[in-house]
A and B are shown apart, each in its own frame.
Chain A
Amino acid sequence: MRLARFRLSGPVLYLISILWALVTLYPLVFTVMSSFKTTDEIYSAPFKLPSLYSFSNYAKALFDAGMLRAIGNSFGISIVSTLSVILLGSLASFVLARLGLKFGNAILLYFLLGIMIPIHTTLIPLMKMVSSVNGHNHYLTLILIYTAFHLPFAIFLISSHMRGISKELDESATLDGCGPIRLFASILFPLTMPAIATAFILTFLYVYNDLVIAVIFISDKSMFTIPLTMLTFVARSLTEYGPIFASIVVSIIPMVIVFLAFQERVVSGLAAGAVKE
C-alpha cells in the first residue's frame, strides 16, 4: 500500500499533471498542425486545425531543403558511429572487467574520466588536428570523433554489467578449450546484451542529435546532417514557415519512435548518463 506517502488530493495532482503535459506536448502538437498549414494560416489561425491536410510543405522540406538526403546522412553517420562505439567499447570492457589485468582499474578510471570532459573544450585542438590531415568534409572524421566522445559512457555501462556476470563461467569455458576471442564473442557479449542495447540506443540518440561537431567539420552541402540542413534552411527561407515546421516534424519523428519503442532503456540510460557527470 502506498497511501502513507505525503499526499495531495487526487484532483489537484491530476490537474497539475495535465497542465505540465500540456506544456510539454502542446508545442509539438502545434508544430505538427502548422506543418500542414500555409504561412497565412499559421499566422491567422494558430490554434485551429489545418483547413486541409496538404503535404506540399513536406515535399518542400524533404526535397527542396534536402531533408531527405540529410536523413540518410544522419542515419548513416549515427549507425556507423554507434556500431564502432559498441565494438570498441565492448572489447575494451571485456578486457577491463574480465581479464583481471594489473592496471585494469586504473585504465577503467582513465576511460571514465572522459564522461566529465566538456566537449567544447576540445573543439579548437580537434579542428587543428583535422585540418592538418585535411579531414574536413569526411564522414570518417565525424565517426571517429563521435566514437571517442561516446566511448567512455558506453564502457561505463557495459563494463559494470560484465563485472556482474559470474567469473566461474570464464573458468569453465576456458577448461573446455574456449579461447579469449570465443569467450568474448559467444559467451560474454550475448550475456551483456541488456547493457549493450542501452549503450547502443543512447549513443545513437546522442550522435543523431549532435550539432556542433557537424557544424565545424562539414561544409559540403551534400554531406549535411539533419541539424545543419535545418539551420541553413531556416536562414534562407525566413518568410515561409510551413516547410520549416515540416522539417522540424521530420527530424523529430525518428527520435519519438526510438523513445516510444525503447522507453525504459532510454529513460534509465539517460538518467544514468546525467547522474554520472
Chain B
Amino acid sequence: MISNRSKYTTAALFLLPAFVVYTVLLIYPVLQSVYMSFYEWNGIASSNLVFAGLRNYETMFDMPEFWTALKNVLKFVLIGFALQMPLSFFLGYLISLKMKGIRFFKTAFFMPVVLPMTAVGLMWTFILFPNGGLFNTLLTEIGLGGLVRSWLGDTTVVTYTLPMINMWVYAGLNMIIFSAGIVGIPEQLYQAAAIDGATGWRKLRYITIPLLKDTFKIYAVTCLTGSLRVFDIIFVMTSGGPNGASDVPATMLYYQGFKYMNFGLANSIGTFILVAGLTLSILTNRYLSSDK
C-alpha cells in the first residue's frame, strides 16, 4: 500500500486545484446569489451591499412580468409533456427496432442536439420570418395560407413557438433516454403476452409503459428542471419579446441584472430558479416513486 503520508500529500496536491476552482467559481457564487438576494447592490464591485430584507422578493412577486415568465415556463412544461414526451417515446421505440436504415434515422433525429443553440435560434428566426420566411411560404404553397402567423412577433403565438423549437432540439436527446429503457425490457415478457393473446397496443399499454416507469420519471424531472432553465433559445430568437411576452425567469434575470441594473431583483430571480428547480426534482422523485 501507498504509505499514509504520501497518500495524503498526493490527495491534497491532486484534489486542491479542482476543489478550489469549483468552490470559488460555482459553489460560492450560488451561495452569494442567495445572500445577495436580500441586499441591494449598484453593480460597482467596490461599493457596499445595502440590506433590503425581503424587498427584492416582494418586488419580484409583484411584477406582472414575473408571472408572465412563469406562465411561459408552464407552456414549456405543457408542450414538454403533451407533445415532446410522446414524440420522444415514439422515436425511442423506432430506433430500438431492427429496421433497415435505422442508423441514418438515429443520426438525423439526434443531429439538432449537438448544434450550437445560437445557430439553431438564428436559423429558425429566419425560417419563421413573417413575410417571405420559409415556413409561411410553405404553408401558403400547400394551401394552408390561413395558418400563416407572425410566429415570433405575436405575443400569444410566440409563447408556443419557442417550446416547439425547443422540442425540435431536444426530442432527439430524450429519444435516447426512452430507447435505453425500451431496450432494457426483457423479450420474454412480450412473448408470454403474445401467447396470452395480447396484441400490439395492449403490449404497449400493459408491458412497455408500466415497465418504463423509471424512464418516465427521469423524463419528468429533466423536463421540469430544463423548462425552468431555458435561456439561450429565447435570448437569441426574441430577446424575451415582443414586449417581454416570451420572457422566462432566466432571461428576466439577465435583463433585470445586466440591462436595467436591478441586481437585487435579479438575484432573487436566480434564487427562485435554484430553489424551484431543487424542490421540483425532489418532489417529482418522491411522488413518482412512492406510489409503486
Main secondary structure of the interface of B (DSSP, over half): helix
Q: How far is the CB of B171 from chain A (nearest CB, A)?
A: 8
Q: Pick from B22-30, B62-70, B154-162 the stretch touching chain A.
A: B22-30
Q: Does A52 contact B (CB under 8 A)?
A: no
B150 at the interface (CB under 8 A from A): no
Q: A99 near B: Cβ within 8 Å?
A: yes
Tell me if B94 and A230 are in contact (CB < 8 A): no
* CB of A277 closer than 8 Å to a CB of B: yes
B1 and A174 contact, CB distance less than 8 A: yes
Residues of B contacting A267 with CB < 8 Å? 106, 110, 176
- List the A side residues contacting B235 at CB < 8 Å: 211-212, 215
- Interface positions, chain B 199-217, Cβ under 8 Å from A, are 200-204, 207-208
* Majority DSSP secondary structure for residues of A touching B: helix
The listed residue (A118, A144, A231) touching B228 by CB distance below 8 A is: A118
Q: Are A88 and B114 touching (Cβ within 8 A)?
A: no
Q: Does B82 contact A (CB under 8 A)?
A: no
User: Does A223 reach chain B (CB closer than 8 Å)?
Assistant: no
Assuming A8-B200, A248-B122, A271-B176, is B257 touching A122 (CB within 8 A)?
no
Known: A6-B203, A212-B232. A255 touches B22 (CB 8 A): no
Are B22 and A148 in contact, CB atoms less than 8 angstroms apart?
yes
Indicate if the CB atoms of A248 and B91 lie closer than 8 Å: no
CA of A95 to CA of B12, assembled, Å: 9
Interface of chain B residues 64 through 101 with chain A (CB within 8 A):
87, 90-91, 94, 96-99
Q: Residues of A contacting B218 with CB < 8 Å?
A: 275
Contact partner of A151 (CB less than 8 A), chosen from B18, B110, B111, B194, is B18
Tell me whether A266 is interfacial, beta carbon within 8 Å.
yes
Residues of A within 8 Å of B257, CB to CB, are 123-124, 127
Q: How far is the CA of A128 from the CA of B253 in the complex (A)?
A: 15
Bound-state Cα–Cα, A1 to B187, Å: 9
A75 CB–B CB distance under 8 Å: no
CA distance A262 to B270 in the complex (A): 35
Contact A256 B231, beta carbon cutoff 8 Å? no
- CA of A149 to CA of B25, assembled, Å: 8
A124 to B124, CA, bound (A): 30
How many residues of chain A get a CB closer than 8 Å to chain B's CBs? Answer: 100
Q: Which residue from B36, B172, B202 sits with its C-beta under 8 Å from A124?
A: B36
Among A46, A122, A208: residue with most chain B CB under 10 A: A122
CB pair A117 B274 closer than 8 Å: yes
Is A139 in the interface zone, CB < 8 Å from B? no
Separation of A256 and B87 alpha carbons in the complex (Å): 23
The verdict on A106 contacting chain B, using a C-beta distance below 8 Å, is: no
A36: CB under 8 A from chain B?
no
With an 8 A cutoff between CB atoms, is B2 at the interface?
yes
Neighbour of A216 across the interface among B168, B204, B258, CB < 8 A: B258
Q: Does B271 contact A (CB under 8 A)?
A: yes
Contact of B119 (CB < 8 Å), options: A99, A124, A252: A252
Interface residues of B toward A: which range?
Answer: 35 or more
Contact A13 B115 (CB under 8 A): no
Contact A120 B229 (CB under 8 A): yes
Say whether B200 contacts A16, CB under 8 Å: no
A119-151 residues with Cβ-Cβ distance < 8 A to B are 120-129, 131-132, 144-145, 147-149, 151
Contact check, A274 vs B94: say whether CB atoms are below 8 A apart: no
Whether A270 touches B113, Cβ cut-off 8 Å, given contacts A120-B254, A155-B18, A212-B231, is yes
Contacts of B168 in A (CB 8 A): 23-24
The answer to whether A27 and B124 have CB atoms under 8 Å apart is yes
Known: A116-B277, A205-B114, A211-B232. A125 touches B221 (CB 8 A): no
Chain B residues lying within 8 Å of A123, measured Cβ to Cβ, are 29, 253-254, 257-258, 266, 270
Contact A88–B177 (Cβ < 8 Å): no
Query: Chain A's nearest CB lies how many Å from the CB of B189?
Result: 9
Contact B10 A21 (CB under 8 A): no
B202 to chain A, nearest CB (A): 8
| A interface residues (Cβ-Cβ under 8 A, vs B) | 1-2, 4-8, 10, 13-14, 16-17, 20-21, 23-25, 27-28, 30-31, 34, 43, 46, 88-89, 91-92, 94-96, 99, 101, 107, 111, 113-114, 116-118, 120-129, 131-132, 144-145, 147-149, 151-152, 155, 170-171, 174, 179-181, 183-184, 205, 208-209, 211-212, 215-216, 226-227, 230-231, 234, 241, 244-245, 248, 251-252, 255-256, 258-260, 263, 266-268, 270-271, 274-275, 277
A120-B254, A148-B21, A271-B177 given; 20 more Cβ-contact pairs under 8 Å: A17-B94, A92-B18, A92-B19, A99-B7, A101-B11, A107-B15, A114-B22, A117-B26, A122-B30, A122-B33, A123-B29, A129-B29, A151-B21, A209-B118, A211-B116, A230-B118, A230-B119, A244-B126, A251-B116, A271-B173
> Can you list 14 contacts pairing A with B, beta carbon distance less than 8 Å?
A2-B187, A5-B190, A7-B200, A28-B123, A94-B14, A114-B22, A121-B30, A124-B257, A212-B235, A231-B118, A251-B119, A271-B176, A277-B225, A277-B226
A-B residue pairs, 7 tightest by C-beta = A148-B25, A122-B29, A125-B32, A227-B118, A131-B45, A92-B18, A125-B29
